[in-house]
Structure 1
């Protein structure tokens, strides 16, 4: 694939660099009214070095190529008002920002927010503020690219043509892959257990009103694993990012004001307002989850055992059972099956990456003891994101052995590959047309970059 397309796709997917700021801040390129700083390239190059260790100055040409492409897409997206036409765009930016930060903390800093903050020399909240515009631009670029490729599809003939165009010895070899699903049931808490949690949170609220520090109490008491360590701080959030009950209460708060106790599907919350910026609010909260007893946990196990029995005797399919009974939001909408992101119509997951793809450190060990087609007995399950405990049954639906790609076994995957090639061709043609319509200037230090020749010719026409 073309390097422009690959780098741009990587940036949109969330791999844009987050590295230490450079003290150098000179403009090295301009696209329309968008500028690219030398530090923009150096920051991404710093992350490249962090991943690859081996210096390669040519990578800077590729990085600049991606940044130029993104700036052109963003400029056109703003001309076409694509973000303004999407009422949920601000909320989507915030959600993507949180996802990116979590990805970088997990992938590059060993899961340690403190290590991330040490690397940057700044607190997490300040980093989020600085990256918000960058993420917004990347998402505008994505909207523009979707607009360019909207309606594109491939026919069976296109797919076969693509398949036949690839030399047989160049067809991708796929390692062992599996298709796995689960049905999760969490225990249902009683009203008495809810009252205990509410009473505990009411006592914390009284302590705060009496002068106790909210953040200290959140660190010690909150059951929210994502915010407890930072004093309950959720950063800036937009409408649509939170469950309705929480959102309604949070958006009514003034700076420093405490909410009443709010009940949501996650438990009971006490919220404190910090700041508001239009349709965004900055809040912190304490979450107290009702604690269920062994009785409720055992009831969840028994219900799941009954569901499994219905599946085994064919009175209920696994997919229908997942939709009706499962409490797992990740898989329920896909008939209980784990679906890799970005792989439309294809649920096979590389066996050696099953834990990574599912976000579940225990799933490999479970299916390693099973035969294809089997459904496990109810197993104790702890959600690694929320800490919630329940039971699950695991379905080892299918398995494919290592093989070279073929139309018979990999049609959905080949369809996606053929469509990607078609989209790439359309995007490249769009770039060729649009480059001549926008003002382009590139610093002379990048004149030798072979990958920038189209851009350099456009830059030259404005200089002449």
Structure 2
């Protein structure tokens, strides 16, 4: 469980009046306590309110805290601060422009949900001014960034050799070896309706009209984003993204256009897999480029939709009749490049192999294949993804592996992941033990009675 705890900004004397509760009282019990210093970890001060505020945020986001004690959650808070403190000691570089950009996006995103009401936002976060809110969010994001970078530094270079994987597996007592649930191998054939040249040109002309209206008539680019863009991920922030030449985030075509522009310029329409864009380059700050963009996707005609559906129904009929195998049809007809040349065989995005464990399968995919027998062809399904607003597909189960005890040969990739996790956990534990001993740490009040897994109280 990964917790992103807030950063305390000021020291308050640790003189508090409290309603006594057992140290392991569950999180959802009422707790009345004045604010005070709960702990100090290196350069960081943790207030009583930090934990309560974070618990409230986790609950608000739908997190399940059942079974977790305050002591356990407080231990997670201490860990995050230890990482951040050590990152400063190790001179981990913070990209402050990136942090500021994140703050801007977060505030714009929240404002989008509050209809742009800044006063309501400040009241929600109990801040007297927008700058006070920005300052706190900047510190929270910066310390979270430091913690993540330090964690990556501790575990980033850890790898496991085949011999280590074998040793790890052999050291597991036979009666304790993991049992993997039922797994399926799945294949797909996808047909995507074709976009007409007329529809593409209509979008290009519309984007050119936006560009002209902004450049010649003084219209607001941001307003046009809010009214017209089809990029739901950036609409709330006015289409804003911050690009960095050293940190690729966008598709190549988008980056190439942005980095070729001058500040204040609006690009000509250009195409990516997601549709057609225009970019307004708002600000250049060294390696950082602040851009806003509008995304439009060409409309699909009813004739194109019908043609695609008729095509996949014809393909399905040929497979069912035995004229074509599923794999042959996928290689010849499928529009899904990632699976086409594997005979339609789908790759599990989590494990990067061909096996999908039923209990961990994407719910939507599970609903599409749950009633399929091995080798059976699904009915034609209508679907969509980030790039295509509409596509048709058929699915089949090419293999099924029932519940089974871990087998080294069959389950090598899963066992390798377990071995890597085990090695990373041991490395983190070793790093944490050494770092705690070399870091100033003070735990106050009731938390001194906690039975921490780590040696925060330095009793040894």
Please confirm whether the aligned pair reaches a TM-score higher than 0.5, indicating the same fold.
yes
Q: Distance in 1 between matches of 2:47 and 2:422?
A: 31
Residues 345 and 201 from structure 1, CA distance in 2 versus in 1: closer, same or farther, beyond 3 angstroms?
A: closer
Residues 404 and 45 from structure 1, CA distance in 2 versus in 1: closer, same or farther, beyond 3 angstroms?
A: farther
Residues 80 and 339 from structure 1, CA distance in 2 versus in 1: closer, same or farther, beyond 3 angstroms?
A: farther
Deviation at 1:457, TM superposition (A): 0.8
Structure 1: segments with no counterpart, 5+ residues: 1-9
Normalised TM-score (structure 1): 0.68
Secondary structure (helix, strand or coil) at the match of 1:215 reads: helix
1:63 to 66, 73, 79: 73
* Aligned counterpart, 1:249: 257
* Aligned counterpart, 2:370: 368
Deviation at 1:159, TM superposition (A): 0.7
Q: Distance in 1 between matches of 2:93 and 2:426?
A: 25
* Aligned counterpart, 1:218: 225
Conserved 8 A contact 1:354-1:364:
yes
Conserved 8 A contact 1:305-1:378:
yes
Conserved 8 A contact 1:307-1:321:
no
Normalised TM-score (structure 2): 0.69
2:290 is the alignment partner of 1:282 = yes
Conserved 8 A contact 1:319-1:336:
no
Q: Distance in 2 between matches of 1:242 and 1:364?
A: 30
Residues 339 and 75 from structure 1, CA distance in 2 versus in 1: closer, same or farther, beyond 3 angstroms?
A: farther
Secondary structure (helix, strand or coil) at the match of 2:439 reads: coil
Per-residue deviation, residues 75-97 of structure 1 (Å, max 9, x unmatched):
5556666779xxxx9999999x7
Deviation at 1:254, TM superposition (A): 6.3
* Aligned counterpart, 1:354: 361
Conserved 8 A contact 1:148-1:427:
no
Q: Distance in 2 between matches of 1:22 and 1:397?
A: 60
2:154 to 132, 145, 166: 145
Q: Distance in 1 between matches of 2:194 and 2:91?
A: 46
Deviation at 1:198, TM superposition (A): 0.6
* Aligned counterpart, 1:327: 336
Per-residue deviation, residues 224-279 of structure 1 (Å, max 9, x unmatched):
23334x26423434341112332233345666643332332322212234444443
Conserved 8 A contact 1:258-1:272:
yes
Report the structure number with the largest CA radius of gyration: 2
Residues 160 and 136 from structure 1, CA distance in 2 versus in 1: closer, same or farther, beyond 3 angstroms?
A: same
* Aligned counterpart, 2:204: 198
Q: Distance in 2 between matches of 1:94 and 1:375?
A: 51
1:17-28 to structure 2, matched below 5 A, reads 28=38
Residues 446 and 310 from structure 1, CA distance in 2 versus in 1: closer, same or farther, beyond 3 angstroms?
A: same
Deviation at 1:208, TM superposition (A): 3.0
**C-alpha RMSD of matched pairs (Å):** 5.0
Secondary structure (helix, strand or coil) at the match of 1:376 reads: coil
Q: Distance in 2 between matches of 1:289 and 1:156?
A: 50
Conserved 8 A contact 2:185-2:346:
yes
Q: Distance in 2 between matches of 1:456 and 1:216?
A: 55
1:174-189 to structure 2, matched below 5 A, reads 177-189=183-195
